[in-house]
Chains A and B, each alone.
Chain A
Amino acid sequence: MVIKVLGSGCTKCKKLEANTKEAISALGVQADVIKVTDMTDIMAYGVMKTPALVVDEVVKIMGRVPTVEEIKTLLSSL
């Protein structure tokens, strides 16, 4: 799967990226993590408050940093 972390480089976005990578390696799933920093690209997803998590082009979380546990639950339920 393709996971995108949307955010223009704030500390929260880095935290979300780190949590996501941790969740992926804990689950042992195959996933590409891509950072999206361009504002117009972020807006195209309809997100107004970063950071946001997009899994296979579907916005799953926006405006907050989920815990590693929450991301694990989210990814394994797909």
Chain B
Amino acid sequence: MIFQWLNNQILRMDWLSNLVKWFVEEVLGLNMAERFGGSLHFFIYDVIKIFILLSVLIFTISYVQSFFPPERTRKILGRYKGIGANIFGALLGTITPFCSCSSIPLFIGFTNAGLPIGVTFSFLISSPLVDLASVLLLASIFNWKIALAYVLVGLILAVFGGSLISFLKLEKYVESFVFQHRAADLPQEVLTIKTRLQIAKDGVTDIIQKVWLYILIGVGIGAAIHNWIPESFVTAVLGQDKWYSVLLATIVGIPMYADIFGTLPIAEALVTKGVGIGTALAFMMAVTALSLPSMILLKKVVRMKLLLVFAGIVTVGILIIGYGFNAFGGFGL
């Protein structure tokens, strides 16, 4: 009971929803049951909620991350072999700071330190896909079952995808210069609490600056789907009974480059319109795990064949997850 209340107030921010409802109805004099009032409520409430959650979460996570710089991750990963290394790669991917702009140095640093490329790919798949902030946001917007299921399948995809790349022995498709400079092993900096807090604060400003536009666009699209696009149209295209819904959501999502935070409100609105949870998850995963900009960056260090294998494995994985969730959606998700 208490957990339920805390969950509703802190994570789902019911108080904020009520506050915005009061604002829309009493101050602006709009009817929430009507389109415009409803969209406005969705937009204001979601934007404020996401920004509050994001700031708190990024602050906490950046603090934790300051204990795991990539140099340390690499050292930890070097101790494990086989699938164990893939599992740790995927797990460390969830806490190691990552943005697509640092994927190249990470890739080179990991690979020329002798880590199997499969382990590096496990890390590269899980890093943008699963992080602590996205878990809590999923729990806030949907529920805990969906959040945990998302993490679990995300990690499985990372472990499995990386292992498959190891198994296929694709090292020869890595550009040779990657192996040339063996990166020096640097001693880890000892940071004070003050510096870590500074890092956490910088992390918040940095991420907010990077994603605010995506969030506004995402919530805007979400609000439009929520109140302006007829449910019959949405279900006709992406309905759970349509065999092509997951495929369509994945293909539309892959080239898009957006943060998970911008994608969530769209998924939220789609689900309320009767789209299967598997279709919504497939869309989110496709947007975050694969994007044109990150592929263009990766192309600098690997040959086209390895890049296509990587994209292929992740795409098939997302499709399986999407169809799986739609088929077994009866878990009460």
Contact B202 A64 (CB under 8 A): yes
Distance, CA A49 to CA B106, complexed state (A) = 7
| Chain B neighbourhood of A65, CB < 8 A | 202
In this assembly, does B177 line the interface, its C-beta being within 8 Å of a C-beta of chain A? Answer: yes
Contact B105 A46 (CB under 8 A): no
In this assembly, does B239 line the interface, its C-beta being within 8 Å of a C-beta of chain A? Answer: no
| Chain B neighbourhood of A70, CB < 8 A | 195
Distance, CA A2 to CA B221, complexed state (A) = 51
Report the minimum CB–CB distance from B124 to chain A (whole Å): 13
| Chain B neighbourhood of A39, CB < 8 A | 104-105, 108
Contact B199 A48 (CB under 8 A): no
Report the minimum CB–CB distance from A61 to chain B (whole Å): 7
CB-contacts of A10-51 with B (<8 A): 10, 12, 39-40, 42-50
Quick one: given A44-B181, A49-B102, are A12 and B206 in contact (CB under 8 Å)?
yes
Distance, CA A8 to CA B104, complexed state (A) = 11
In this assembly, does B69 line the interface, its C-beta being within 8 Å of a C-beta of chain A? Answer: yes
Out of A12, A42, A64, A67, which one reaches B105, CB within 8 Å? Answer: A42
Chain B minimum-CB-distance residue to A65: B202
Q: How many A-B residue pairs have CB under 8 A?
A: 68
Distance, CA A59 to CA B69, complexed state (A) = 15
In this assembly, does B26 line the interface, its C-beta being within 8 Å of a C-beta of chain A? Answer: no
| Chain B neighbourhood of A47, CB < 8 A | 105, 183, 186
Contact B195 A46 (CB under 8 A): no
**Chain B contact residues, CB within 8 Å of chain A:** 66, 69-71, 74, 97, 101-102, 104-106, 108-110, 112, 177, 180-181, 183-186, 189, 195, 198-199, 202, 206
Main secondary structure of the interface of B (DSSP, over half): helix
Distance, CA A48 to CA B106, complexed state (A) = 6
| Chain A neighbourhood of B110, CB < 8 A | 48
| Chain A neighbourhood of B108, CB < 8 A | 39, 43, 48
Contact B189 A62 (CB under 8 A): yes
Report the minimum CB–CB distance from A45 to chain B (whole Å): 7
Out of A40, A44, A48, A67, which one reaches B71, CB within 8 Å? Answer: A48
26 contacts between A and B (CB under 8 A): A39-B104, A39-B105, A39-B108, A40-B180, A43-B108, A43-B109, A43-B112, A43-B183, A44-B181, A44-B184, A45-B183, A45-B186, A46-B185, A47-B105, A47-B183, A48-B74, A48-B110, A49-B69, A49-B71, A49-B97, A49-B102, A49-B105, A49-B106, A62-B186, A64-B195, A70-B195
Contact code string A40-78 (vs B, CB < 8 Å = 1, else 0): 101111111110000000010111111100100000000
Report the minimum CB–CB distance from B68 to chain A (whole Å): 11
| Chain B neighbourhood of A44, CB < 8 A | 181, 183-184
Most buried by B among A8, A39, A61: A39
Distance, CA A70 to CA B195, complexed state (A) = 9
| Chain B neighbourhood of A40, CB < 8 A | 177, 180-181
